[in-house]
Amino acid sequence: MFVEIVESAAKVLVLESIRDEALGDLWELDSQLKQSETSRFWRLVKALQYFCSLIKASILLLIEEQWTQWLDTKESHHRTCQNLNIEDYAGSTLTSEEFSQIKQYCATRRLYNLGLSRKLLGLPQHLSSYWMRQADRIIDKCLAQGEKVIDAEAIANSFLLSSLIRQVELVPPHSVDVDRFHHWVEQLRLDESFLERYVSFDEQFYKRQLVCRTWSLVVYVISWMPGQEVGVHHHGYALDAIRVIRGEMTHWLIPPEHWEESVPFEGFEHSRHHEGPSEVLKAGDVIAIDRRHGHQIANCSDQPLVTLHFRFGHPPEDKHWRSTNDTEMFVWNQTEGCFDLIPPDMGRFTSSRL
């Protein structure tokens, strides 16, 4: 009932240019509140708050439209670029606060133009944050190509991956040890809803899905049905870190000095099952595998298992990849000395066109 009332009022008081998509978001919000069994009173409060934000946005948008008639936006942009130092393009590690801000900003840009989005969020008109400027560039590219939906989740999570890649590539490869790599991966918290895009179960074998790859780092998701496993193996001189996203992972770790028999290199020959001591890792747990260490993974539970893998070195080569199509992975574009991580084609973006 609340949503219907707000919708009727919005048809009169909210600008047409933002009305339809904004009301769609309101219906989605109300549906989420219903599923979480939120009381009718708080649903009404949320609906009224959202309606007030739409009125505010409409007023600001009208003011913005009048103001832009008196401004030469291209000249203003030129002056802004001149005021930026070379250090502004260098980038830095993405903080959790910036990550949340970017998601909110990208979601707002879905509805409103650049200037109005910054006003609604209380941001300065000339952004000083490297990551916010990168978000603007990607959004502008998508809008210029006729994209009607801005995938805020994909942009924000791709920036987290970009931040990790920067950390990895800022130091010589030989100085990256297992503890440092474990720390980097443990600090990275990708949204589970984002990772769901890469989940793909197979009744016969576990399946990998590539998320992104550079010369030094490979990130991929593995989906395991109950009972599926990979036998004992090692990764040579590559480092590996695994985060459990969903389910329970049974893991065996075999240091080189404890190899009772030859442990094969990953994918090189058929792996045998290791019967030694193991540990069970649950959602959120992270484990790192050092160079020349053997390990084994199994889903011994009765529920599906999803794991996120970070490989500092060459990726595995076997039949368990779901796809190696380049259009399904993140694509790197270098512009003005900056690296943008452009989301793949998920029904919203087409990387081959970027």
Concatenating the DSSP letter of every residue in 49-63 gives: HHHHHHHHHHHHHHH
Which of 89-93, 229-233, 284-288, 318-322 is the most confident on average?
Answer: 284-288
Per-residue confidence (pLDDT) for residue 10, from 0 to 100:
63
Q: 3-class DSSP state for residue 161?
A: helix
CA-based nearest residue to 100, from 159, 28, 156, 184: 156
57: number of Cβ within 10 Å: 22
Q: CB of 130 within 8 A of CB of 89?
A: yes
Mean pLDDT of the chain: 74
How do residues 236-283 score in pLDDT, each as one tens digit?
888 999 999 999 999 999 888 776 567 777 765 566 777 778 899 999
CATH class of the domain at 178-342: mainly beta
How do residues 180-239 score in pLDDT, each as one tens digit?
999 999 999 999 988 998 898 989 888 888 888 887 888 999 999 999 998 888 888 889
The domain segmentation of the chain, as residue ranges, is 1-70, 178-342
Percent of the chain residues topping a pLDDT of 70: 66
Helix ranges (H only) for the chain are 2-13, 16-35, 40-68, 73-83, 96-109, 114-120, 130-144, 152-169, 178-187, 192-195
Q: pLDDT class for 284, splitting at 50, 70, 90?
A: very high
Q: CB of 117 within 8 A of CB of 60?
A: no
How many Å apart are CA 311 and CA 323, to the nearest integer? 17
Q: 3-class DSSP state for residue 81?
A: helix
CA-based nearest residue to 2, from 51, 53, 47, 52: 47
Predicted model pTM: 0.66
Could you tell me the two tokens for 152?
A: 């805020």
pLDDT exceeds cutoff 80 at 300: yes
Q: CB of 107 within 8 A of CB of 152?
A: yes
Question: Up-side HSE of residue 349: CA atoms within 13 Å toward CB?
Answer: 24
Q: 3-class DSSP state for residue 43?
A: helix
Measured in Å, how far apart are the chain's first and last C-alpha atoms?
A: 43
How do residues 189-204 score in pLDDT, each as one tens digit?
999 988 998 898 989 8
173: number of Cβ within 10 Å: 13
